[in-house]
Every structure is written in structure tokens, then in C-alpha cells.
Amino acid sequence: MAASPLPRIPHFVIFPFMAQGHTIPLIYLARLLRRRSAAITIFTTAANSPPIRATLRGVDGVSVVELPFPENIDGVPPGVENVDKLPSLSSFFPFVKSTKLMQNSFEQALETLDPPVSCIVSDVFLDWTLRSARRFGVPRLCFYVTGQFSFTMYQIFLRERPHAAVDSLDEPFPVPGFPHLTLTRNDSEPPFNDTEPSAGPFMAMVFEHMESVRMSQGVVVNSFYEMEKRYVDHWNENIGPKAYCLGPLCLAAAAAPPPLPEKPGYIRFLDEKLELGEPVLYVAFGSQGELSKEQFEEIAKGLEQSEVSFLWVLRTAAAAANSGLDLEEFDSVEFEERVRGRGVVVKEWVDQVRVLRHGGVGGFLSHAGWNSFMESICGGVPVIAMPFVADQHLNARFVVEEAGAGLRVWPRGGSVRGLVMAEEVERKVRELMMGGEEGAEVRRKVAEYRDAAWHAMEEGGSSMLTLDLLIHEMGTIEIAKT
């Protein structure tokens, strides 16, 4: 009697978009899939490979394949292979478009994989990978860097255009399917908030992305079902393809941060404040936000006037330079001297996950990037949302008004966009950090979400059960080769 064939090992190909915020969650996903004994191959470029390999150090069974990044692309400086290093956001469109030139080398590499690829997980900006998946007859899962709420709103804007009935960017409009919810056009970016989006290459790219989502076999969501249940259910029942909540993916990192050979100064500062019982406000606005000199100065003035201890990470030097801001000029000796003893300014990379899980941190003044919000929730740290670009305004709506997990600073003049004054920064920082009634309620909600998030990522939790379901379903889907 012939022996039964051994079950085929699932082999997931993961292809992140070349930006730190897009890459890190998918590296965490690779860790999760390895825990289920799947073979993993991560595709990237030579310049993006070193930090990926460093993050995966100690993880067996994950291969990293480097593809050549296209050269001589108009609008993309030579040698730049990551969005975080682009000179300005105006280079974003040609950068995304240029990735299409990687398709041939990607498919040639897929031919060599052993065991053969069984599923491709790729970023929404890499829509062309759907065609590659079909040529190999395997399912493709799409990854979008924001949460389910924002992704659902973008789809509703494109499909049903509820904002077309209002002329003003700040006039509220109801959202179909969600009678409790009103938004404004300023809560999203063009072309999503255009009342009559014009034809053009950028709009064509957006529709290509959305069509590739629709034709994929699922969407990987860096969130957990208990927090976004309403929007996951709406997506699965009315939009699709199926959303798989597998997060918070940051909890798939090592169980405990590796010991540091030497504590950096910012950790020593947090340790000292923890011993004194003085909670610290962590302040960071991501790597791509373009803040004006005037806005930097208002934030600094508000922090100084708040009399709250803070750790401010200025890792946006490139974006600041694009705005005409000299960080050396802004971060003057006078400012540091005035806040000495309670305020620390850092101009280098910090381990944000480590900071947000430090017991000395009591709040997070943030740009409302989704990864940062997930990391904050997992650390039990409430957010003060100060959005600037991209999905950040929708994320802020969700964090503050839907989840109740944060406060929001508002610009002057009644719009959701514009200059936030120092007095507003001071007021919200004091409310959160000094025991205000609103701040206390936010802390209670964040504690609930923290517990739910950690439970979701435990064996038997919602995200781990969804991971098992995803692996099973991707192994049963038959895709005709094209």
C-alpha cells in the first residue's frame, strides 16, 4: 500500500511597500506565520534589506530576497529606495508607479522558490502583484497600513460619494450605513474628498489599487476584531473581499525587548521620572509629516506652558527641511534650558514600542498614524491626536470619537485642518496628564482596549483564531492561472 503524500507546507510570500510604516507590520506578520510552521519569503530591495534582516534576527525559516529597484525614474532621486527618504511628498506618485517595473524580476524569483509559493501577501500600493499571483495560480492577500475604519471610509467615499452633496471642506455630511457618524471632506485627502474627481494619472492609480483590492482573496488588517467590530462586519457584508483582523501585529514581536548594552539617555530619563512618580508625555509625529516652522513653535510653546514632563522625538528632519524649518534653529539652547529637568528633546531614532511600554509614559501626543496607535494601545497609553496628512485625520476620528481612546487638539478657526495654537496643546496635555475628568475616562477605555488587544493575540484569542482560519482558507482556494 502506497504511503499517503505528506501535507504541503504553506509558503507565504510577503512583499511590503518600501516605507517603514508599511514594512514593520508585515515583518511582524511573518513572525506570526512562522509560529504556525509556514515557510516565509520576504521580498524587498537591497537598500531596504538590512533593517528587515535585523528585525528578523533569531527567527528561523524566513528568507529575504532582494530585487533591483528601478533606476532613472523621473521624480525619484537616484539611490532612493524608500518613501521615508524621498525629498518631498511630491515624489510619492512617481515612486509608487516605478514599482511596477519590478514585476518581471519578482516573477522570475517566484519561479525559483521551494516549496512553491502558495499565497502572496502584498501592500495595496503594489497592486501589480495581483497579476503575478494569478500567473502562478495562487491567492493574493492585500495589506493596507491603516485600520478597518479608515479603509472602509475610503471605499465608501469612492463608491457612494456621500461628500458630493456638500461644497465646503468643513461642512459635515452623513456616512451611508453609519447613521451615528458624520465626517467632513477635510477628514480625507484628494482625490477621495473631491466632489468631482478629475481624470488623471493619480486618480487612475487610486482606482487600480482599489480594483486590485476587490479582485484579491482577502485583506490583512492590523487591528483586532473587538475594537473595530462594526466596521469589519460592514466591510465583510457590504464591500469585501474578506477582512482578516490579525493584530495588533506589534504584539508578534519578541516577547520581551532584548536587553540594551547601554541604556540610552531617553530611557534613563523615563526611569528617573518613574521613580519620582512624574508621568511623561511622549511626543512624536512619525517620519513623513511636514510640519511648518510656525507649528513646531506652537507645539514647543504649548509643551513648555503645560508644565508636564515630556520626551519629544524630532525624527522628521527631512520633512522639516522641506518645510523650510531648520531644526537646529528651532531646537535652540534657550528652549532646552527652559525645560531642563522635565523636558528632553531627541533627534535620533528611538525604540517607540519600548518607550510606550515603559511605566513612566502616561500619554502620547501623536500624528495619529495607525501603527503608532496600535503600539500605544498595547502599552496602555492614551493618545492626544494631532493629525496632519494621509489617513491620519480619519484615524483621529476613530481614536477619539469611535474608540474613546484619546483626546484631540483642534486647529484654530473651526476646521479639522490648520494651525494648532499653543494654548490648545497646553490645555489638552494638562487634561490628559494632570487627571482631568475627560482624561480619566480616556485612560479607562485605553486600559480595556489594552487587555482586549493582548487577549486577541493569545492562543484562542480572536486574532490567532483568524490567523488559523486564513491559513486554512488560503490553502483551499483554487486560482486559475492566467
pLDDT by residue (tens digit) across 383-442?
999 999 889 999 999 999 999 999 999 999 888 999 999 999 999 999 999 977 888 999
Average pLDDT of the residues in 69-76? 92
Write down the pLDDT at residue 42: 98
CA dihedral sign of residues 430, 435, 438, 444:
positive
Band (pLDDT 50/70/90 cuts) for residue 319 is: very low
* Integer CA distances (angstroms), 103 to 100, 190, 337, in order: 6, 28, 53
Write down the pLDDT at residue 144: 92
Average pLDDT of the residues in 107-124? 96
CA 464, distance to chain mean position in Å, is 20
Q: Are 108 and 127 in contact (CB under 8 A)?
A: no
What's the Rg (C-alpha) of the chain? Answer: 23
What does the block give as the cell for 198? 478629475
Write down the pLDDT at residue 152: 96
Q: How far apart are CA 33 and CA 355, in angstroms?
A: 26
- Fold exhibited by the domain 265-455: Rossmann fold (3.40.50)
Helix (H, G, I), strand (E, B) or coil at 52: helix
Task: Kindly tell me if the per-residue pLDDT of 346 is higher than 80.
Answer: yes
Q: Give the percent of the chain with pLDDT over 70.
A: 91
Average pLDDT of the residues in 12-28? 95
Task: Kindly tell me if the per-residue pLDDT of 25 is higher than 80.
Answer: yes
Band (pLDDT 50/70/90 cuts) for residue 335 is: confident
Task: Kindly tell me if the per-residue pLDDT of 26 is higher than 80.
Answer: yes
Q: Which tens digit of pLDDT belongs to each residue from 258-272?
A: 566 678 889 999 999
Going by C-alpha positions, the residue among 96, 82, 74 that lies closest to residue 50 is 82
- Fold exhibited by the domain 11-247+458-476: Rossmann fold (3.40.50)
Band (pLDDT 50/70/90 cuts) for residue 256 is: low
* Better-scored residue on pLDDT, 314 or 200: 314
DSSP labels, 122-174: EETT-TTHHHHHHHTT--EEEE-SS-HHHHHHHHHHHHH-GGGG--STT--EE
Write down the pLDDT at residue 317: 45
Q: Are 13 and 121 in contact (CB under 8 A)?
A: yes
Task: Kindly tell me if the per-residue pLDDT of 445 is higher than 80.
Answer: yes
Task: Kindly tell me if the per-residue pLDDT of 1 is higher than 60.
Answer: no
Domain boundaries, the chain: 11-247+458-476, 265-455
Band (pLDDT 50/70/90 cuts) for residue 257 is: low
Write down the pLDDT at residue 324: 45
Q: Are 293 and 300 in contact (CB under 8 A)?
A: no
